[in-house]
Structure formats: structure tokens, C-alpha cells
Amino acid sequence: MDEVSCSDAELVRRTCRGESDAFALLVSRHQDYVYNAVVHLVGQGWDAEDLAQEVFLKAYRSIGGFRRKARFSTWLYGIMLNCVRSHWRRQGRRPRVVSLNPGVADDGPAPDPPSPQDGPLDQAVRSERVSFVRCCIAKLPEELREVIVLRDLEGLSYKELARSLSLPLGTVKSRLFRARRALRARIVPVMADEL
């Protein structure tokens, strides 16, 4: 069977049979999504890299318990959220704050790369906006930050989000509404002229 065309479910079955190359393929398929979500939740740097590795290590160790009622990616996001929450507890629940000055070294997420069509002023303004919005997201309470990152930045469906967070769908929608409202309340006073 062609490795690339194998479904996640087939790769999980093969991993449970002891085929480590099948798990390596699962990692390669999902590592960017997991890492990006971790970066948005805890900031860029060694913590994010370590947490992403921890997610896959825990997934490998517990893959026999994967019940296949949800997609593998949803199950993996649940593990990722548990790892991030543990990290927050170890860190004393301090939210990550990102510098608004792109020239200052910090451990926060790096700004998105500029568009080649942007001029120097456009690039600077865009970079400042991105940093500001990421800083606002980092200041949200953890439960609100989780839903906004996984839904609006990582693109999980409401159903996947509910499964990953082990919450009823209505609770997920309510949290997402509150997260967007809280984020808007932080952004609008500063960027009202641009909205």
C-alpha cells in the first residue's frame, strides 16, 4: 500500500501493530498543525518545540487507547491541549506577552512574513498589527485563548473543537463568542481608525 495514500485510521492500526514507520508518517502529517497551535497558545521558542514533541510522545504511548470515535487529528489536539494546560500550570498561569516592537527579541510568536507587494511602510504597519493582535490573544484567559486559536487560527470545526476540548457544542460556541467579544474589546480601542 502506498504510504502517502494511507488514511490516518490505517496508520493508527499499523502503529498499534508495532510499525514505527506508520507513526512517523502520522507525525509528519500533523507536526506543523500541532506546532502552530502550540506556538499560538504558549509563544514561540523552546517551550513550543518541547511541548510539540511531548504531544507526539504522549500520543505514541497512548495510541492503543485511541477509540477511533473521532478523527486522529481531533484526538491529537486533545492531547496537545492537555500538554499546554500542564505547561500553564507549571508556569504559574502567566500568559505570554508578545513585544509590540519587532526589533526587540522576545519569546513570542514571530510576525507573519510581509507580502512581496508591500512597501517598507506597509510591511512595518502590517508587522505591528499582527504583533498587536497576537499580544491581545495571548492576554485572553486560557479557556478563551484555546477556542479562538483552535477555531480561528487552526481552522478546527465546531464539532472537532468540542471533541478536542471534551465540551458540549453549545459550550464551545458560547466560549468562542466570549473569546471573540473579549478580543474585539482589546483591539477596537487601539485600532478603531482602521476597522
pLDDT for res 126:
74
Q: Could you tell me if residue 34 is inside a domain?
A: yes
pLDDT for res 107:
45
Tell me the three cell numbers of residue 4. Answer: 502517502
The CA dihedral of 194, 137, 181, 89, to the nearest 10 degrees, is -170
pLDDT for res 106:
44
Q: What CATH number has the domain bearing residue 22? A: 1.10.1740.10
Q: Residue 72 is part of which domain span?
A: 1-95
pLDDT for res 45:
77
Tell me the three cell numbers of residue 11. Answer: 496508520
Between 36 and 103, the higher pLDDT residue? 36
- In the chain, the number of structural domains is 1
151-177 tens-digit pLDDT = 888 888 898 888 888 889 999 999 999
Q: Could you tell me if residue 118 is inside a domain?
A: no
Percent of the chain at pLDDT > 90 equals 25
CA distance 25 to 20: 9
Q: Which residues of 111-149 are buried (b: 16+ CB within 10 A; e: fewer)?
A: beebeeeeeeeebeebbebbbbbbbbbbbbeeebbbbbb
Q: Could you tell me if residue 88 is inside a domain?
A: yes
